[in-house]
Amino acid sequence: MGEPKLVFVTQIIPPIAATLNDACGTDPDWLCRKVFEWTDNSDVAGIATWLVDRPVKVLVIVLLALLVRRIIHKAIDGLIERLMSERSSEEQDAVRAAEAAGGMLRREMLAQKLSSLHERTERARQRAKTLGVLFKSIASAVVGTVTLMMLLGEFDINLGPLIAGAGILGVAIGFGAQSLVRDLLSGIFMLIEDQYGVGDVIDAGDATGTVESVGLRTTKIRDRHGTLWHIPNGEIRRVGNMSQLWAKAILDIDVAYDTDLDLAMETIKTVADGVWDEQLEAATIVEEPVISGVQNFGSDAITIRLSVKTEPAEQWSTGRVLRKRIKEAFDEAGIEIPFPQRTVWLRSEADQKAVVKKTGPGFQTGPRSGGGDDDGD
């Protein structure tokens, strides 16, 4: 009785296995196998896989993608918050330093200084937000691309040619757009580090002037002649910002050698203190002017150095105001600003002939030797 049953089982199992492979593939999943066992129908098992199993996988992939995207966005928000906390701490330190010097600064000066600091911090905050939006967009694009490829794989679409084509295209773009990628990366780091912004006066090597526009790829600078320079961010090797936080005007003032130096330095200090007290809109001095003393002994004059600390980008206008007022004060005090001095020797034509005659052949300037007249006879 056992032998016929064994023959029957061996005859029935192969067709079931083949049908199961036809319905669910060589590696059938749990749902397809169970539906096939319950219904003994390959069509029903295949339909169940399409209606239940694949949508579940698609849903899981989409949910995981959304979760990863949210985690990345949270990490970017944390990075931006850390950057902003650093900016805020720098502002607070500067505010405390300004308030500590409040006894030396006038109330309106202190308010102006704090307003400038707050404006700079707000600019850094806006930059950080812009970078946050950029990084989030890049992260969303990457996560979306990976998710799309996984979904296409779930629907048995061959991704090999697509990946190979994308790889070849990426290599070609990478070789052809190296400078573009360098400019973009330089622009991102420039924004992160807040090296300069619109309105700053910078020295970018190739051009020096006022920044009119800052982009991820290029920076636009208007120089003092009115020329607008478009400089790729990747070409900017170093930047000298002449309008961050504060600036300094250094004036080297020449006086004649016979000038009373104490009087000259007192006059210069009085003029600088007057400009400091006035707090002109375009020539704001933020600290007490300093007379450094005698800077140099020149061929024509003695140089006295004056140093004044000004608001950002106001060092040039402050210097012009100080030079004008110092000239007026020197005129009133009778202090001479010397012209180049030279010692000139003048000779007439007769003097020149006499010199030539004296130095001509046969002329002797020393005592004579030999001859009868010299021995006294």
Q: What pLDDT sits at residue 297?
A: 92
**What does DSSP assign to residue 248?**
E
Residue 372 above 70 pLDDT?
A: no
Q: How confident is the model at residue 206 (pLDDT cuts 50, 70, 90)?
A: confident
Q: CA-to-CA distance for 105 and 287, rounded, in angstroms?
A: 7
Average pLDDT over residues 258-273: 94
Q: What pLDDT sits at residue 263?
A: 94
Q: What pLDDT sits at residue 235?
A: 87
Q: CA-to-CA distance for 22 and 43, rounded, in angstroms?
A: 9
Q: CA-to-CA distance for 228 and 212, rounded, in angstroms?
A: 9
Q: CA-to-CA distance for 212 and 311, rounded, in angstroms?
A: 20
- Judge whether 305 and 326 are in contact, CB under 8 Å: no
Prediction pTM value: 0.58
What element of type H or E holds 372? none
- List phi, psi (to 5°) of 280: -60, 150
Q: 279 CB contacts (<8 Å, ≥6 apart)?
A: 106, 108, 109, 285
Q: How confident is the model at residue 91 (pLDDT cuts 50, 70, 90)?
A: low
